[in-house]
Structure 1
Amino acid sequence: MTHLPYIVTAYGLTIGLAVILGGGAALRLRRARARLAALERPSRTGGASAP
């Protein structure tokens, strides 16, 4: 009896989950950077400006 199918499945699930979580983190980081850039842009409404 071999344990190879269990081992391959366990490694596959681990790698798959790591890829999914890493991709989600990368997407959230990209979205957060875009929001930060939008906040750092000077507004055109004529509000108070920083020196």
Structure 2
Amino acid sequence: MRENLAQWDFVIAAYAVAIAGTLLLLGWSWRAMRRAEQRRDEVKRK
């Protein structure tokens, strides 16, 4: 175990959190868009 933490550990962790958050946001937005398109299509059919 290291006694002192390098700053790169925090930089890598910050990038990992940012990339994961971005991917989650993209997935959530894409899913919401698809649901909205399906609802729009259902209304058009009626």
Is there any run of 5+ residues in structure 2 with no aligned partner, and where? Answer: none
Larger radius of gyration: 1
TM-score, structure 1 as length reference: 0.76
TM-score normalised by L of structure 2: 0.84
Q: % of aligned pairs identical?
A: 24
Structure 1's unaligned 5+ residue stretches are: 44-51
Q: Detail structure 1 runs of 4+ shifted over 4 Å in the superposition.
A: none
Q: What do you get for the CA RMSD once the two structures are aligned?
A: 1.1
Candidates 35, 39, 44, aligned match of 1:40 = 44
Quick check: which one's helix share is greater?
2
